[in-house]
Amino acid sequence: MVHIKELRSGLNIFKALSSEIRLEILYLLRTNESMNLNEIADKLNLSNGAVTMHIKKLEESGLIDISTAVGKHGIQKICYLNEEYLTVELKSKQPENLYEYEIKVGHYSDYNVEPTCGLATKDSIIGEFDDPRYFADPHHINAGVIWFAKGYIEYRIPNYLKQNQEFSELQFILELSSEAPSYNNNWPSDIYFYLNNIELGYWTSPGDFGGVKGKNNPLWWPPHLNQYGMLKLIRVTKEGTFIDGFKISDVTLDDINLTQQSDIKLKLAVSNDQNSGGLTLYGSSFGNYEQDIIARVIYDVK
């Protein structure tokens, strides 16, 4: 089940559902369980190219998934629904017990990155492209965008809970994309998330997006570079870990074993797995969303 508690986190799903054709595709998959692209195109009387465009939007939203199979006419793409239910909280009562911080993307506490890589403030590049040494430059705290092909970057989240309080949920909201030389809209990357070095799961970024200027990018930012990402909401609860309402793992807060004295360290990493397409992290002065990393701690009073 997809459960959207924050309307902003469901933006990609809402965009996917805004097309009559894409709704028809979802209806076909609901009634037929799975179909290949040719079958969908025939049913809707559309070209394969037109269907492929709509399928890509639905896949990026997480509503459908695609697998490949060998058929009579070569390799076929098989589409099927990724979830059975979608719920949206339009009027959600905010928890009374929470605190929230916005952490600059340049305020990382640890890193280990490999080229292609770099970082920039709203005014200029820090150092030189593809030289990891500049991640140690004191000006890194002012960075508004960070990118690397492999490795990790880690942030410390304030822990201000008191003796009579316990963690109920952690939330992180970030604008992310892959990292390709220049940019590549079709450049999948598995971006992994860790909390106190415990793997929470991963999200596959579809690409390193460019071709359209990011809404918040400074005027000097070159048009041939990556421009924006996708806003992702990560929730770690007592039931599991979720991204934009989709459960990505069974890792719970109990598994992290946080107390009032615990460090809270959020790590973003790219490994050498199949989709090792790097990572770009956007802050408030870059990309499409005027924010840095938003961290929320929701707690109960004992």
CA distance 200 to 221: 33
Stretch 281-286: mean pLDDT, rounded? 97
For residue 274, what pLDDT is reported? 82
Lowest mean pLDDT among 88-102, 160-174, 239-253: 88-102
For residue 72, what pLDDT is reported? 64
For residue 94, what pLDDT is reported? 58
What is the CATH code for 2-86?
Answer: 1.10.10.10
Query: pLDDT by residue (tens digit) across 161-201?
Result: 998 999 999 999 999 999 999 999 999 999 999 999 999 99
CA distance 162 to 185: 45
Confidence of residue 30 (pLDDT cuts 50, 70, 90): confident
**What's the pTM?**
0.77
Residue with tokens 């934009």: 244
Higher pLDDT, 151 or 32: 151
Q: Domain boundaries in the chain? A: 2-86, 98-301
Mean pLDDT over each residue of the chain, to the nearest integer: 91
Residue 220 Cα to chain centre, angstroms = 26
CATH 2.60.120.260 fits 98-301, yes or no: yes
For residue 76, what pLDDT is reported? 82
